[in-house]
Structure 1
Amino acid sequence: MSTVDLPQLETLAIQLSATGVAELAFNRPQRYNALSPEAYKDWLKAIQWAASCDRVKVAVLTGRGKYYTSGQELRRPDLSAVGQDAQVRKLDVTKTLVDELIKFPKLLIAAVNGPAFGFGVTTLALCDVVYSVPHATFNTPFMKLAYCAEGCSSVLFPRIMGPSKANEMLLMGRTFTAEELERCGLISRIFPAENFLQTVLTIAEDCAKFSVDAMKITKELIRGIDRDLLLEVNAREMQQLLERMRSQNAIDTLNQFVDGVERKRAMKKAKPSKL
């Protein structure tokens, strides 16, 4: 693996093979690869680097540890002016990241190594190919948090999965298995958990032998027709998400969620040790 001139990021690990396969791995395994504000920034930097670096021919998104990503790191809402500004900046980063995924010019493969939640699920539809381990599960808990669809899932999920299954995912918060998503076309193939990442990287290495120009042109033919639509959808979703996050309904729901997490932690801490 080459390590020359690779971005050094806190929450995302990057490796680049000599043949041009960039592995972009969510790297907070102790937090189930939860997406903190810093993680969104790192993901954006990694995607922008992979898009612009001539040495990168194929990019593979994956996660370290047991999870692909547990989605947005949920914290108690900060209703101060500083907190409101931070919320806007975070959503600006998120919007830009989705824009960059929409415009990403090279082959982008997702290697889902474990459970995926929220933004980690919706952005799979922006990848060109999705592979998964058999035990991965997929959930978008937007309704439980009083949020709304994002990552262009409001358009891409119904198109890929069909309206009924997409509505189960986005409106009802049902957890899907990898097998279910393979049947409806969001996942291309399921590979055994053993040596899963190496299997995907081997496929990526084979693709890296192809003409980069031919890949870019063909991807443009496939994706280019939808670009303006998806950019517009992303902007609309982000505006709606900001409004939802600032609603009293969502604030109360998130506070209740955090209260529940804190109670569970306190009970676990107070539980007598068996040793």
Structure 2
Amino acid sequence: MITSSLSNHILTLTIDRPTAKNALNLDMYQNLAQQLERAKNDDIYVVIITGNSDIFCSGNDIEDFIQLAQADDTQAQKNREIIERFMFAMIDCPVPIIAAVSGPAIGIGMTLLQHCDFIFATPNTVFTLPFVKLGLCPEFGSSLLLPQLIGERKAKAMLMLGEELAAEEALSLGFINQITVQPEQRAAHYAITLTALPKEALQHTKKLLSGNSRQQLIDCIYKENDLIFKLIKRSEATSALSRFKGKKSHT
């Protein structure tokens, strides 16, 4: 469900679960974490993340959410550790991460993009964060990072109201680098350019750009996840998730 290929020092990771609209489940988080941790290997200079369908990622798997709501404390902690391993693998990836986004990026499908260094998206790409509608709260540091990336007003509209962010607005706000009908090709071009640069200088530059705020980001993620793992057991969340599952089964 996560396919990977390594060629010319470029590791390409593809979210490949089209029957579930590329929703991420626990196995996929674990696989992504393992693959991203490979970037500490000297043979990898750049990571590309993309999706194998007309939707980049529809967010967290709804069945996993429902199971998490029913899990005991031990199982919930195990699930949390898997998800956080993926999050920290992205944050601590020493090499540049490039995202090639085709179609909707929903929930964690959008918040993971906050931790990418370059983003190329198709004209029909739409970014959505339906956390509150599901009875949940922001995740992956979005309560901290999103206002910095797109401005406080738009971030509040997205995180509180679930307002969409279209590709043109995402470009104007600086969330993405470019709109293109061929994001994979643009990502590949950038990756080739990056691999030709001095690797050590590039990695130090990436670290300097984010290093001073790393602990603040880690603290934010822990705080968000504390809340999510409480909220998901509340009746508001369980009811919203059940309704969402019902709608999904009729589409």
Query: TM-score w.r.t. structure 2 length?
Result: 0.94
Distance (Å, rounded) in 2 between the aligned partners of 1:176 and 1:126? 17
Distance (Å, rounded) in 1 between the aligned partners of 2:214 and 2:61? 29
Distance (Å, rounded) in 1 between the aligned partners of 2:23 and 2:86? 16
Equivalenced residues, count: 250
8 A contact 2:40–2:93 mirrored in 1: no
SS in 2 for 1:77: helix
Distance (Å, rounded) in 1 between the aligned partners of 2:51 and 2:165? 19
Per-residue deviation at 1:118? 0.3
Residue of 229, 232, 244 corresponding to 2:219: 232
- Counterpart of 1:167 in structure 2 is 156
Q: Name which one, 1 or 2, has greater alpha-carbon Rg.
A: 1
Bigger shift: 86-95 or 168-177?
A: 86-95
Per-residue deviation at 1:79? 7.5
Per-residue deviation at 1:261? 2.9
Q: Label 1:59 to 1:79 Cα distance change in 2 as closer, same or farther (>3 A).
A: closer
Q: Label 1:182 to 1:79 Cα distance change in 2 as closer, same or farther (>3 A).
A: closer
CA RMSD of aligned residues (A): 1.7
Distance (Å, rounded) in 1 between the aligned partners of 2:177 and 2:70? 45
Structure 1: runs of 5+ lacking an equivalent: 1-10, 266-275
Per-residue deviation at 1:80? 8.7
Structure 1 residue 253 and structure 2 residue 243: aligned? no
Distance (Å, rounded) in 2 between the aligned partners of 1:208 and 1:261? 42
Superposed, 1:33-52 pairs within 5 Å as 33-49=22-38, 51-52=39-40
Per-residue deviation at 1:81? 7.0
Residue of 97, 116, 120 corresponding to 1:127: 116
Structure 1 residue 12 and structure 2 residue 2: aligned? yes
Structure 2: runs of 5+ lacking an equivalent: none
- String of CA shifts for 1:77-123, please: whole Å, max 9, x gaps: 34897565443322221122112212111111111122111001011
Q: Label 1:57 to 1:170 Cα distance change in 2 as closer, same or farther (>3 A).
A: same
- Counterpart of 1:64 in structure 2 is 52
- Counterpart of 1:199 in structure 2 is 186
Structure 1 residue 54 and structure 2 residue 42: aligned? yes
8 A contact 1:13–1:25 mirrored in 2: yes
Per-residue deviation at 1:255? 1.6
8 A contact 1:88–1:242 mirrored in 2: no
- Counterpart of 1:149 in structure 2 is 138
8 A contact 2:122–2:167 mirrored in 1: yes
- Deviating above 6 A after TM superposition, structure 1's stretches of 4 or more consecutive aligned residues are none
Letter in 2 for 1:57: Y
SS in 2 for 1:88: helix
8 A contact 2:101–2:183 mirrored in 1: no
Distance (Å, rounded) in 1 between the aligned partners of 2:76 and 2:168? 36
Structure 1 residue 220 and structure 2 residue 210: aligned? no
Superposed, 1:47-126 pairs within 5 Å as 47-49=36-38, 51-75=39-63, 77-78=66-67, 85-126=74-115
8 A contact 1:102–1:230 mirrored in 2: no
Letter in 2 for 1:144: K
Query: TM-score w.r.t. structure 1 length?
Result: 0.86
SS in 1 for 2:196: coil
8 A contact 1:102–1:231 mirrored in 2: no
Distance (Å, rounded) in 1 between the aligned partners of 2:122 and 2:10? 20
Letter in 1 for 2:82: V
Per-residue deviation at 1:215? 0.5
- String of CA shifts for 1:195-254, please: whole Å, max 9, x gaps: 431222022111111111001111111111111111111111111110111112211221
SS in 2 for 1:130: strand
SS in 2 for 1:71: coil
Q: Label 1:103 to 1:78 Cα distance change in 2 as closer, same or farther (>3 A).
A: closer
Distance (Å, rounded) in 1 between the aligned partners of 2:40 and 2:177? 27
